[in-house]
Structure 1
Amino acid sequence: MKLVYCLLFAIYCSLLLSGCSVEKEKTYRQTERVMGTTMTVTVVSPSERKAKDAVEAAFAEVKRLDKLLSHFSQDSELSAINRASGVNPVKVSPETLEVIKKAVDIARLTGGAFDPTIGPVVKLWDFKLKTIPAKKEIKNALALVDYRKVRINESASEIFLEKRGMELNLGGIAKGYAADRAVEAIKAKGIEAALVAIAGDIKGFGLNHGGIPWKVGIQNPRPVENSAGSQIPKDQEMLTTPSAGDIMASFDLKDRAVSTSGDYQRFFVKEGERYHHILNPETGQPAKGLISVTVIASDGYMADALSTGVFVLGPERGIKLLESLGLGGIIVDSNNKISIIGDIISSEAL
């Protein structure tokens, strides 16, 4: 499960390089807090009014989706599905049906390494209080994790969780899906180039200001020092945007999406062991073997969910899956060995 609390990518926009007022007027950027994290929309347009309309449409769409898909809000459709688990099907909107169907499809694709029914296990782990659940608690929760018990009735637009106590958690796919929808909302306003970043889930289309590709940087999962030059405490969560010195690699992003899952995003250390938020649906424990996975795909939902699924699968099976799908990626294992899948690096290579 991917709960992103910081911007995992440094986005280098030509706004920073603009030298005259005419150029600055062509790029519009806005940041807001949505889906429990930071969302930034950058739009390139000769029309300020058209750009602002597009930016507003993107944020409105993501906020609308959050009301449907949030597992924090008791009023969301997702919460209604969870409350009715083992009791009755719940009629949902086309968007909720679509994202759950996609989540189950990717669960099947990864053999359950990504599983949207991991909700009961996620609830056991408190990374703020740094508590480790008891083995019995995890065992009981794992009995409720099985994507094959999600019944999707497309004709009736209904979702049913077969077993009482099952819970969907879409944290590993919702932001990528929302980025996809935000991009569509922007395109509907006649915009030909934009970049949407919802925490570490990023999707771009067209060319950046000046006709150059959007450039995205991947955070180093083990930066030696923080921006102040002092050592980062082992039990400190990474809650800030990485500095330029923390960027491991960068590449061009055009008409694609990228997502990263890392064990540095939210974690605590106890007795020398790191406990992070990317949980293995089979064990109920933090996944082992990798420390960072970046996936590049045409769709944000796919990149988002697969970055989690590959992290759980581990290096060998994860690489094989990405290669079989023809997707690009960067995988860093627990020994800091870096594997590059596909031809994705265009500058500042690893």
Structure 2
Amino acid sequence: MNRFLCIIFLLFFASCGQPGEPLFIENNGRAQGSTYQIKYESPKGQDFGKEIEEILRQIDLSMSTYVPSSLVSQINKGNTPVEVDSLFITVLNRSTEIAEETAGSFDPTVGPLVNLWGFGFKEIRQDVSADTLTQVLSKVGYESIQIDDMRVSIPEGFTIDFNAIAQGFTVDHIAEFLENHKVENYMVEVGGEVRAKGVNESGNVWRIGVDKPQEEIDAENRFQFVLELENAGLATSGNYRRFWVDEETGTRYSHTIDPKIGYPARNRLLSASIIAPSAMDADAYATVCMVQGLERCKELLASKENFEGYLIFSGDENEWDTFITEGFQAFIIEPVN
């Protein structure tokens, strides 16, 4: 997954105060193959760091393909119904809803194709012949997922992978935990997916910077834009850092795979930043945009209430160009030329 968000804090958070008093607290670490950063005003000065670590652990035990004993790893053995938890079924149900809505542009069973093209865990590219592609495509299709109440199974050879939605869900789940503990001001970021509510310690709306679509980060000229995010989720997906180039043909293949045709998506879209009511939806639909391309992404944004987008694409002469919805523009405070 592509993670290109950088959280900007203009003031450092103090870690002092009397027990029982409101206090801004920061928790950070590593999770889900990336990092997390969470800042919140705790009404009674309580540090929820241990509880947040437990939430991350439970999500890994539910849907991490890197944990051999996880629920998803058990399901991926094939042909055996596995009783799942509420975390898993929530993400699975939303994944299949988005898959149906997008006619398969989003598909939680795309894993075999990702591995075929060398973007999986082992990062080993296989021989992508027509026969091989046909064979692998026969093991992809969300319609093959069997759901019976809380029991889930897939045919042998299929896999479920929530890579394009799980981090957004994690952000929402932690945000819900904080709100249940009366936290009104917070920023939750996991692997670049963000959700924010209220204000930071300085009393300002949370500020988020989104990287330019370039292979290397330029520390002095890093951000495409900076926005103020309030009571919404934000995710960015792009194809400019994870790709490989065929040495014989010079063809560049991105990590975003079109599940319907089996090939990496090839279109003019370089990155898609999506604002949505939830980080989970922002995460998933950013991937949908990268698969469907510029024009279809514009149509999608126009059709969905409370969804906004900032799209960067290559112009006629290979220069960068942008499409920004009116609602997204209202969030931006520092456009970058």
Question: Do structure 1's residue 29 and structure 2's residue 26 form an aligned pair?
Answer: yes
Question: Do structure 1's residue 192 and structure 2's residue 184 form an aligned pair?
Answer: yes
Equivalent in the alignment of 2:85: 93
**Deviation sequence 1:311-347 (CA, Å, 0-9, x none):** 1011111110111012101111233221112422331
The structure-2 alpha-carbon separation of the partners of 1:215 and 1:113, relative to structure 1 and needing over 3 Å to count, comes to: same
The 1-side partners of 2:51 and 2:123 are apart by: 37
Q: Give the letter for the 1:340 counterpart.
A: I
2:302 to 323, 326, 329: 323
Report the CA distance between 1:130 and its aligned residue: 6.5
The 1-side partners of 2:50 and 2:158 are apart by: 36
Conserved 8 A contact 2:15-2:24: no
1:1-350 equivalences under 5 Å are 3-4=1-2, 7-16=3-12, 26-45=23-42, 47-48=44-45, 50=46, 52-53=47-48, 55-84=49-78, 87-127=79-119, 131=125, 133-135=127-129, 136-154=131-149, 157-161=150-154, 163-222=155-214, 226-227=217-218, 243=219, 245-271=221-247, 272-289=250-267, 290-326=269-305, 327-335=307-315, 336-345=320-329, 346-350=332-336
Q: Report percent identity of matched pairs.
A: 28
The structure-2 alpha-carbon separation of the partners of 1:226 and 1:325, relative to structure 1 and needing over 3 Å to count, comes to: closer
Q: Gaps (5+ residues) in structure 1? A: 228-242
The structure-2 alpha-carbon separation of the partners of 1:203 and 1:108, relative to structure 1 and needing over 3 Å to count, comes to: same
> In the comparison of the two structures, how many residue pairs are matched?
319
Q: Give the letter for the 2:70 counterpart.
A: S
Report the CA distance between 1:129 and its aligned residue: 5.5
The 2-side partners of 1:110 and 1:330 are apart by: 19
Report the CA distance between 1:120 and its aligned residue: 1.2
Report the CA distance between 1:226 and its aligned residue: 4.5
Q: Give the letter for the 1:308 counterpart.
A: T
| Greater length-normalized contact order (CA 8 Å, ≥ 6 residues apart) | 1
The 2-side partners of 1:139 and 1:8 are apart by: 33
Report the CA distance between 1:46 and its aligned residue: 6.0
Report the CA distance between 1:280 and its aligned residue: 1.0
**Deviation sequence 1:221-267 (CA, Å, 0-9, x none):** 026x644xxxxxxxxxxxxxxx3511001111111101111112422
- SS of equivalent to 1:123: helix
Q: TM-score, structure 2 length as denominator?
A: 0.87
**Deviation sequence 1:135-169 (CA, Å, 0-9, x none):** 23222111111112222223xx11122x3311111
Conserved 8 A contact 1:262-1:292: yes
The 1-side partners of 2:236 and 2:243 are apart by: 15
Report the CA distance between 1:273 and its aligned residue: 3.1
Conserved 8 A contact 1:173-1:304: yes
Q: Give the letter for the 2:327 counterpart.
A: D
The 1-side partners of 2:198 and 2:15 are apart by: 22
Conserved 8 A contact 1:59-1:182: no
The 1-side partners of 2:10 and 2:71 are apart by: 39
- SS of equivalent to 2:291: helix
The 1-side partners of 2:128 and 2:29 are apart by: 38
Report the CA distance between 1:26 and its aligned residue: 4.1
Conserved 8 A contact 1:58-1:186: no
Report the CA distance between 1:15 and its aligned residue: 2.9
The structure-2 alpha-carbon separation of the partners of 1:83 and 1:296, relative to structure 1 and needing over 3 Å to count, comes to: same
Report the CA distance between 1:21 and its aligned residue: 7.3
Report the CA distance between 1:300 and its aligned residue: 1.3
Q: Gaps (5+ residues) in structure 2? A: none
Give the CA RMSD over aligned residues: 2.3
4+ runs deviating over 4 angstroms: 18-22, 127-130
Q: TM-score, structure 1 length as denominator?
A: 0.84
* Bigger mean CA offset, 126-135 vs 299-308: 126-135
